[in-house]
């Protein structure tokens, strides 16, 4: 952790200022120590450069497991593609150069979007509820152990973020918010972190007629209760052959559109420009993600749009996105009436 950011942080319990105590330094950063609230005296450990504001075991533990298993699987720098770059800029419509801006990434995982956001030159504050932040650190560190000067990592709760309100010029949450206990409340917490005039981008899984009839929701009733290590071992054995079956079915005109119901795994053959090994790893990773998540709460377009129109946001754009529905809006500076366009 870089000590220069302390004035920007706040105790997630009471909002008080924090101080760093018992600090140990490596590469000019705090490698270990504690953050202590000057108001309520709560303390939070710093381990492996990362301030930890939540318990190690929580409802997102399966995500921590998967992202440390597949730390590099979805990184553009590893796949040699622009899959994540294209999704980020197509969904947010943000400029590709943002020097001098502060950006918040909620639910950073292993850093798939982190490396893209860093490329804009913005000062990036990334957090995850799970131990995935450790994989993110490994993926985005520079020479030695230090992080880039414009990256700050945290293990934190989206409902109790450790930042002063209204701090960020840009904030995004992609592929995450449907996996929280209360997605609308998580969205409102994100809005509060954006400064007036700043931009917010969020996506959700789409809830349409028949969504909950998808096989994954029936399977998740069982699989989300299975220990992550055991579920992962099973999937590493069964997903690769099933992916080949699903790929074959998708090429049959009569039943190709039904392949996802016949073989309920994730498989991106013909969709993403990945080699055979990458296709296999993506299939295992995303099938595990699909079946292990503690929460999976897709949203209807009407409800998702209401999140934006009922918040102090303007210039709202809500519609189809790479992951279901995506919304981008600007934080209002006054008491303007809500409004949107689709």
Looking at residue 144, its pLDDT comes to: 54
Closest-CA residue to 50 (of 117, 113, 115, 5):
5
**Calpha distance 342→327 (Å, rounded):** 9
Across the chain, which has 342 residues, the per-10-residue mean pLDDT values are 96 97 92 97 96 83 88 96 97 97 97 96 97 93 73 97 98 97 98 98 96 90 94 96 89 72 88 95 96 95 98 97 96 58 30
Sequence spans of domains, the chain: 1-49, 53-206, 211-292
**Calpha distance 318→202 (Å, rounded):** 10
**CATH code for the structural domain at 53-206:** 3.40.50.150
**Calpha distance 196→198 (Å, rounded):** 5
Looking at residue 146, its pLDDT comes to: 66
**Calpha distance 301→45 (Å, rounded):** 40
Closest-CA residue to 15 (of 40, 34, 35):
40
Residue 3's alpha-carbon distances to 103, 157, 213, 220, in angstroms, are: 18, 21, 50, 42
The rounded radius of gyration (Å) of the Cα atoms in the chain is: 20
**CATH code for the structural domain at 1-49:** 2.20.25
Asked whether the domain spanning 53-206 has the same topology as the one spanning 1-49, the reply is no
Mutual angle of helices 228-250 and 61-69, in 10-degree steps: 70
Closest-CA residue to 103 (of 221, 31, 14, 190):
190
Query: What's the pTM value of the predicted model, to 2 decimals?
Result: 0.93
Residue 232's alpha-carbon distances to 61, 62, 64, 213, in angstroms, are: 13, 10, 13, 24
**Calpha distance 190→156 (Å, rounded):** 13
Contact criterion met (CB below 8 Å) for 58 and 270: no
Contact criterion met (CB below 8 Å) for 65 and 228: yes
Closest-CA residue to 119 (of 90, 74, 85):
85
Name the one residue in this structure whose structure tokens are 């590099």.
72
Write the CB contacts of 246 (distance below 8 Å, at least 6 apart in sequence): 259, 260, 262, 263, 265, 267, 269
């Amino acid at each position: 952790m870089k000590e220069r950011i302390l004035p920007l942080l706040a105790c997630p319990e009471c909002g008080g200022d924090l101080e760093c105590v018992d600090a140990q330094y490596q590469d000019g950063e705090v490698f270990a120590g504690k953050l202590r609230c000057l108001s309520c005296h709560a303390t939070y450990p710093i381990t492996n450069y990362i301030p930890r504001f939540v318990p190690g075991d929580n409802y997102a533990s399966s995500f921590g497991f998967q992202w440390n298993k597949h730390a590099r699987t979805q990184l553009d720098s590893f796949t040699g593609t622009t899959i994540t770059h294209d999704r980020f800029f197509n969904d947010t419509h943000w400029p590709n150069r943002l020097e001098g801006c502060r950006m918040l990434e909620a639910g950073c995982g292993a850093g798939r979007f982190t490396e893209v956001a860093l490329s804009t030159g913005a000062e990036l504050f990334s957090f995850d509820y799970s131990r995935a932040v450790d994989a993110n650190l490994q993926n985005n560190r520079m020479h030695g152990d230090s992080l880039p000067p414009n990256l700050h990592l945290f293990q934190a709760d989206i409902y109790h973020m450790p930042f002063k309100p209204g701090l960020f010029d840009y904030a995004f949450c992609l592929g995450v918010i449907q996996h929280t206990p209360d997605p609308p409340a998580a969205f409102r917490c994100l809005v509060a972190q954006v400064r007036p005039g700043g931009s917010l981008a969020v996506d959700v899984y789409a809830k349409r007629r028949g969504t909950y009839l998808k096989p994954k929701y029936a399977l998740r009733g069982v699989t989300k209760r299975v220990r992550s290590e055991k579920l992962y071992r099973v999937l590493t054995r069964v997903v690769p052959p099933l992916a080949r079956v699903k790929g074959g079915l998708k090429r049959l005109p009569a039943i190709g559109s039904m392949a996802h119901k016949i073989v309920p795994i994730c498989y991106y053959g013909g969709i993403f420009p990945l080699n055979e090994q990458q296709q296999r790893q993506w299939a295992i990773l995303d099938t595990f993600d699909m079946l292990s998540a503690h929460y999976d709460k897709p949203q209807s377009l009407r409800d998702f749009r209401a999140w934006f129109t009922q918040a102090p946001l303007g210039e709202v754009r809500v519609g189809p996105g790479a992951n279901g529905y995506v919304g981008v809006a600007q934080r209002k500076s006054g008491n303007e009436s809500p409004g949107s366009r689709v």
